[in-house]
């Protein structure tokens, strides 16, 4: 199978490529604009693989996308390319509209043109769109986890842009019969995640003896999914999913933000005891700050559909996955320094 991965230099996209390249019956083309969160060093281990190639470009650039399709002639596209940080979407929503909505539209339109010119490809072609649980809004404590048929109630510029792109994918499936699939996932974590996200931010601030910021009282609840489990779920949908369907992929690991931060601090206390005259434990670095505007209370994913229909379930527990993640960041501080490169210094974003 010849697969285009968009956003393949990012956190989840690069994990997907590392997973797919090992399956030598796939040829992978990675297209990525290499914005702040895209880093080709995520793919150092596989960059010389014969079944992998890379093109730098913008998914919203129709001329570039047409050239890529014409030259590579894909059997599938997996669209990871997206602006994805809520705080950044509050600071500057325009780029989220450009990439997440216009970029998805451009990929869909080129897929439509491509399939019109290659009708024999249509039967096995797959346009797979990777989305988020945030399109559903948030949940109260006693609410059931999100199912695929939940109403869309996005709260932030980020989640509204992803909701819009999901709707485009469904419309192109129904109107133009593009063979599409959508996945909505819970919060991912693991190695190679850009340090603006909660778990790597906490790890790096703690190791640097900087304050660990907690929005509000830290009671917001998220469902955590180890990135390697996520990409295996995506592959299950790609290869076995029913065209036109949506599949929710979650980790069934609901924790408050404060609990997650305390767990990270405990792991660090064990793996790399704090070397400071001022602090005895990493948890003493926790600092409560003003809450994010429009902060969703709780996300939780019901993964029963993908479990029952495609036989997927997460392999990593939150405890084991979090320990693996902390260990990786401790061992890879140079990677963290290189990806930040002066453009992001662990500061808070999204203030209004």
Q: Mark whether 284 is an active-site residue.
A: no
Among the listed residues 27, 134, 223, 302, the single catalytic one is 134
Query: Is the dihedral angle over the CA atoms 250, 253, 259, 265 positive or is it negative?
Result: negative
* DSSP H or E stretch at residue 204: helix 198-207
Other Cβ atoms closer than 10 A to 344: 17
CB 186 within 8 A of CB 224: yes
Ramachandran sector of residue 93 (left: φ over 0; alpha: ψ -120 to 50; beta: rest): alpha
Give the pLDDT of residue 349: 46
Is 15 in a helix, a strand, or coil?
helix
Instruction: List the helix and strand counts (H, then E) for the chain.
Output: 12, 12
Q: Mark whether 215 is an active-site residue.
A: no
Four-CA torsion 323, 327, 328, 330, nearest 10 degrees: 140
The DSSP string of 128-197 is EEEEEGGGG----TTSPPB-TTSPP---SHHHHHHHHHHHHHHHHHHHH---EEEEEE-EEESTT--TTS
CB 10 within 8 A of CB 18: no
Give the pLDDT of residue 346: 44
Give the pLDDT of residue 350: 42
Task: Give per-residue pLDDT as tens, 292-338.
Answer: 777 889 999 999 999 999 999 999 999 999 999 999 999 999 888 88
Q: Mark whether 158 is an active-site residue.
A: yes
Q: Tell me whether residue 271 is exposed, middle or buried, using C-beta atoms within 10 angstroms of its C-beta: 0 to 12, 13 to 18, 19 or more.
A: exposed
Q: What is the Cα 65 distance to its own chain's centre?
A: 22
Among candidates 232, 228, 238, 234, which has minimal Cα distance to 76? 238
Q: CA-to-CA distance for 260 and 336, rounded, in angstroms?
A: 21
Paired tokens of 11: 């956190």
Domains and CATH numbers, the chain: 2-192+225-252+299-317 (3.40.50.720)
Among the listed residues 52, 114, 136, 158, the single catalytic one is 158
CB 316 within 8 A of CB 229: yes
Q: What is the Cα 58 distance to its own chain's centre?
A: 18
| Segment 173-180 long-range contacts (CB within 8 Å, at least 24 positions apart) | 173/243, 173/244, 174/244, 176/112, 177/122, 178/108, 178/111, 178/112, 178/115, 178/127, 179/122, 179/125, 179/126, 179/127, 179/243, 179/244, 180/126, 180/127, 180/128, 180/129, 180/243, 180/244
Give the pLDDT of residue 352: 46
SS3 content of the chain, % helix, strand, coil (to 5): 45, 15, 40
pTM of the model: 0.92
Q: CA-to-CA distance for 145 and 136, rounded, in angstroms?
A: 10
Angle at 57 between CA 125 and CA 169, to 5 degrees: 40
Per-residue pLDDT of the chain (352 residues; tens, 9 = 90+): 999 999 999 999 999 999 999 887 899 999 999 988 888 999 999 999 999 999 999 999 999 999 999 999 999 999 999 987 777 888 889 999 999 999 999 999 999 999 999 999 999 999 999 999 999 999 998 999 999 999 999 999 999 999 999 999 999 999 999 999 999 999 999 999 988 889 999 999 999 999 999 999 999 999 999 999 999 999 999 999 999 999 999 999 999 999 999 999 999 999 999 988 899 999 999 999 988 777 889 999 999 999 999 999 999 999 999 999 999 999 999 888 887 764 544 443 444 4
Among the listed residues 27, 32, 58, 133, the single catalytic one is 133
């Amino acid at each position: 199978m010849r697969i285009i991965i968009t956003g393949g230099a990012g956190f989840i996209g690069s994990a997907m490529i590392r997973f797919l390249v090992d399956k030598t019956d796939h040829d992978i083309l990675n297209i990525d604009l290499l914005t702040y969160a895209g880093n080709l060093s995520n793919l150092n281990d596989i960059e010389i693989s014969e079944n992998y190639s890379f093109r730098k470009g913008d998914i919203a650039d129709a001329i570039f996308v047409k050239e890529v399709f014409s030259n590579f002639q894909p059997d599938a596209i997996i669209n990871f390319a997206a602006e994805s940080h809520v705080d950044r979407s509050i600071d500057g929503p325009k780029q989220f509209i450009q990439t997440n909505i216009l970029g998805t539209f451009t990929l869909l339109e080129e897929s439509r043109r491509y399939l019109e010119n290659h009708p024999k490809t249509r039967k096995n072609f797959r346009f797979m769109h990777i989305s988020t649980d945030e399109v559903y809004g948030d949940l109260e404590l006693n609410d059931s986890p999100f199912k695929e048929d939940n109403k869309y109630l996005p709260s932030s510029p980020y989640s509204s842009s992803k909701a819009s792109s999901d709707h485009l994918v469904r419309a192109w499936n129904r109107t133009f019969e593009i063979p599409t699939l959508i996945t909505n996932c819970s919060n991912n974590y693991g190695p190679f995640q850009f340090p603006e996200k909660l778990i790597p931010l906490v790890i790096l601030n703690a190791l640097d003896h900087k304050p660990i910021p907690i929005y509000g009282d830290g009671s917001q609840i998220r469902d955590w999914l180890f990135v390697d489990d996520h990409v295996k779920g995506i592959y299950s949908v790609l290869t076995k999913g029913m065209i036109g369907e949506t599949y929710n992929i979650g980790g069934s690991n609901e924790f408050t933000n404060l609990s997650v931060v305390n767990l990270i601090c405990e792991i660090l206390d064990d793996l790399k005891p704090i070397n400071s005259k001022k602090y005895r434990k990493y948890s003493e670095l926790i600092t409560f700050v003003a809450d994010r505007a429009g902060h969703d209370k709780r996300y939780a994913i019901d993964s029963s559909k993908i479990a029952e229909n495609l036989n997927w379930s997460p392999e990593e527990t939150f405890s084991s996955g979090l320990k693996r993640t902390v260990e990786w960041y401790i061992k890879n501080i140079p990677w963290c320094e290189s990806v930040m490169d002066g453009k992001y210094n662990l500061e808070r974003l999204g203030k209004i």
